[in-house]
Structure 1
Amino acid sequence: MSDASALPLVAPDVAAAADAVRARFTSARPFAHCVIDGFFDDAFANALLREFPAFARGDHRNEHGEAGGKSVVEGIRGLGDAWRALDDCVQSPAFLDLVGRMTGIPGLLYDRDYFGGGSHDNRDGQSLDVHVDFNHHPATGWHRRLNLIVYLNHAWQADWGGALELHRDPRDPANNEVASVLPLFNRCVIFETTEHSWHGFPEIHLPAGRSDLSRKSVALYFYTRERHAGQTAPRHSTVYVDRPLPAHLQPGHVLDADDVAALHELLARRDQHNLRLYRELEGLQARLDQSTIGRLAGLARRAAGRLRHTRG
C-alpha cells in the first residue's frame, strides 16, 4: 500500500485520501474521473514549471504534419532535474499502486516512451476537438486505461477558454452532458480511457498583451496488459467528432463575417480529419497489399517446389 513517505513528490494528503478519491472517481459523470487540487508537492510543481520546455523545443506539428499551436516533448528526462525526478516517481510501484487505488484499476503499467504524453504546451488560438483516444499502445499492444494530467498554469481565467471538457456523447448535442475543468496550477485530472471517454477543450483566447502565457500541462498515460472483454474494441487511433454548428445559426439568421469565418474553420477541420483517415486507410491498404503479395509469392514458391519434386 502506498504512503506519503514512499512518494515524496506527491502531496501527503493526496495519498492519505486515496479511498475517498476512488469513490469520487467511480461515481463521476459523464464518465469515471476525478479532480485533485494540489496534487504534487507545491515546490516540486513550481520546479516543473521553471524547467518547462520552450515551445520551439517540442514537436509542434499537428496530426497532419503541419506547424500548429501545440508543442509536445515526450522525452521528459532531458528537460531537467525536476522532470527526471517526475519520471522516476511515476514509474515507481508506490505511484502505480496509488493511482490504482484512486481509480480501482490494478496492475497499471508505466509507458517509458510517453507515447502522445509528456509536456504539452498550447498557445493562444489552439483548441482540441472532442475525441476518444487510441486504445492500444502502438508498440506493446497494452490496453490504454487512464489519462493523468497535471496543469501548470498559475493564472487562468474561465473566459480564456481552454478548459478540459468531458462529454457523455458529443454526437448527440441535445442530450450531451459536459463536465468542465479549469487548467489551474497543480490541479490533477484523472479519467478512464474507454470507447466513450469523449474529451477535448475549446479554443484558447488569451487577453490582449498576454501572449507570453500558454496552457501548460504534464500528460501521463497508463496501461494494463489485460482488460475485461466487454470493455475492449478493435485497435484504433484517435477518433474525433467534428464540432456542431454554432447554436445561433438558425433559420432566418443573416450571416456576418464572423459566421462565415467560423463555417470555413469547421469545414477545414472536417477536411483535415477526413484527410487523416484517408492516409490511415492508404497505409492499411499498402500493408494489406504487401501481405497479399507475400502470401502469393509463398504459394508460388511452394507450388514450384512441389512441381520440381514431381518432375524429379
Structure 2
Amino acid sequence: MSQANPDQLINPQVRAQVAVLAKRFQQRDPFRHLVIDDFLDAGFAKRLLDGFPSFESGNARNEAGDLGQKSTVERVQQLGAPWLELDELVKSQSFLDFIGQLTGIESLLYDPWYFGGGTHENRNGQDLDPHVDFNRHPVEEWHRRLNLIVYLNHEWHDEWGGSLELHSDPRADDNRVSLVTPLFNRAVIFETTESSWHGFSRIDLPEQYRNLSRRSVALYFYSRDRPADELAATHSTIYVDRALPQHFIEGRTLDAADVQELRVLLKRRDQHNQRLYRDISQLTAQLEQAQRALSGGSIGRLQHLARRVYARLRR
C-alpha cells in the first residue's frame, strides 16, 4: 500500500488552522492539550467505525487478570483496510511533522507496536482512575511525549460518565477538572508528562442506551530525548484512587447505589495495592536471584574472602 497522504485523511480545515491550534496547545489548562472536532476526513472516520473490532476479539482483561468491561486491540494493522490506512498515515513523516507543528514537539516517533494504544472500547460500568502514563517505550526506551485520541461515538452525554477528565492534580484539594465529551471524530492531543493526569468516571448509561459503548483509537508518540525539566525516572502508569464523591457527607443515609459505589471504590483500591505488592515481590525475587548469581561467581568468592579477612582483623 502506498504511503497515506495526510491531506486526504485529515480534515483540510484542521490543517489550515495549524498556527491557531499551535498557540492554543501551549495554554496549560490544566496542562498542554488540544480538542479538535472533525479531525479526520468524515468518510475515513466512518470507515474506521464501520471496521471497529468486536468487543470479544480484543483483550478484555483488566490489570488484575479478570474479565472486565474494557477491550483493546493493539495491532491495528490486522483489522482491515481502513486501519491499514490509519497505520500508513500515522507513521508517515508528513503526519509526524504535522503533529509536531501543532504541539511544538519536534522529531516525533511512531510506535509500530502500539503499546497500550490501538482500539479502546469501554462498556457500561467501566471507569478509569486518574493517572499519568508510563513514560518510556518498553522496547526502545524512547520518551513518551504525546497522546492522540480520536473518539468514534455518534451519541454521548457527560451525565453518562465516560467523558475524558483532565486533572490539574487529583491528589490536591483544589484539583481542577476539564471535561471532554467523547463525540464522533473529536480528537484530543495532550502532552505526556509527570503532571498530565487524566481518566474518566464510571460509565452509567440509561437503560435504553445500554447497547452503546465508548469507542476510540489511541495513538502514542515518542522522542529520543526530552527537555531536562521534564525528565523523570522510568515508571509504569501511576494511578490515584478516586476520592469519595462529595455527596458522602455526615448524616447521609446510604442507599443501594451508594453501597455499590463504595464497593467499587474499595475493590479498585485493593486491586491497585495487590498490583503494587506483586511488583515488589517480583523485584525482590529478581534482586535475590542477582545476589545468588554474584555470590556463586568469582566476585562473590572474593567478597566472601574479604569479609573473612576483615573479621579476623577486627578480633
TM-score by length of 2: 0.92
* SS of equivalent residue, structure 1 residue 199: strand
Give the counterpart letter for 1:175 in structure 2.
Answer: D
Aligned residue for 1:278? 277
Aligned residue for 2:40? 40
What's the offset of the Cα at 1:302?
A: 7.0
Give the counterpart letter for 1:156 in structure 2.
Answer: W
* SS of equivalent residue, structure 1 residue 27: coil
* SS of equivalent residue, structure 2 residue 97: helix
Q: Deviations over 1:102-121 (max 9, x none)?
A: 00100110000000000000
What's the offset of the Cα at 1:282?
A: 1.5
Query: What is the CA–CA distance in structure 2 between the aligned matches of 1:301 and 1:163, rounded to whole Å?
Result: 56
1:231 paired to 2:251: no
1:220 paired to 2:219: yes
- Which runs of structure 2 are paired with 1:148-163 in the superposition (5 Å)? 148-163=148-163
Give the counterpart letter for 1:119 in structure 2.
Answer: T
Give the counterpart letter for 2:193 in structure 1.
Answer: T
Conservation of the 8 A alpha-carbon contact between 2:121 and 2:213: yes
Aligned residue for 1:82? 82
Query: What is the CA–CA distance in structure 2 between the aligned matches of 1:51 and 1:112, rounded to whole Å?
Result: 20
Q: Which moved more, 1:291-300 or 1:269-278?
A: 291-300
Conservation of the 8 A alpha-carbon contact between 2:60 and 2:69: yes
* SS of equivalent residue, structure 1 residue 65: coil
* SS of equivalent residue, structure 1 residue 130: strand
Aligned residue for 1:191? 190
- Which runs of structure 2 are paired with 1:190-269 in the superposition (5 Å)? 190-269=189-268
Conservation of the 8 A alpha-carbon contact between 2:5 and 2:89: no
- Which runs of structure 2 are paired with 1:1-312 in the superposition (5 Å)? 6-172=6-172, 174-299=173-298, 303=302
What's the offset of the Cα at 1:13?
A: 1.4
Conservation of the 8 A alpha-carbon contact between 1:7 and 1:95: no
Q: Deviations over 1:238-295 (max 9, x none)?
A: 1111111121222222333332222222111110010111111112222222222222
Unpaired runs of at least 5, structure 2: 306-315
Give the counterpart letter for 1:102 in structure 2.
Answer: L
Query: What is the CA–CA distance in structure 2 between the aligned matches of 1:299 and 1:5, rounded to whole Å?
Result: 59
What's the offset of the Cα at 1:5?
A: 6.1
Q: Which moved more, 1:179-188 or 1:225-234?
A: 225-234
Give the counterpart letter for 1:105 in structure 2.
Answer: I
Give the counterpart letter for 2:99 in structure 1.
Answer: V
Please identify runs of 4+ aligned residues in structure 1 that moved more than 6 A. none
TM-score by length of 1: 0.92
Query: What is the CA–CA distance in structure 2 between the aligned matches of 1:51 and 1:166, rounded to whole Å?
Result: 29
What's the offset of the Cα at 1:207?
A: 2.0
What is the total number of aligned residue pairs between the two structures? 301
Unpaired runs of at least 5, structure 1: 307-312
Give the counterpart letter for 1:239 in structure 2.
Answer: I
Give the counterpart letter for 2:147 in structure 1.
Answer: N
What's the offset of the Cα at 1:133?
A: 0.6
Distance 1:126 1:6, change over 3 A: closer
* SS of equivalent residue, structure 1 residue 209: helix
Query: What is the CA–CA distance in structure 2 between the aligned matches of 1:46 and 1:189, rounded to whole Å?
Result: 18
Give the counterpart letter for 1:75 in structure 2.
Answer: R
What's the offset of the Cα at 1:6?
A: 4.8
Distance 1:6 1:127, change over 3 A: closer
* SS of equivalent residue, structure 2 residue 216: strand
Distance 1:6 1:76, change over 3 A: closer
Give the counterpart letter for 1:204 in structure 2.
Answer: I
Aligned residue for 2:308? none
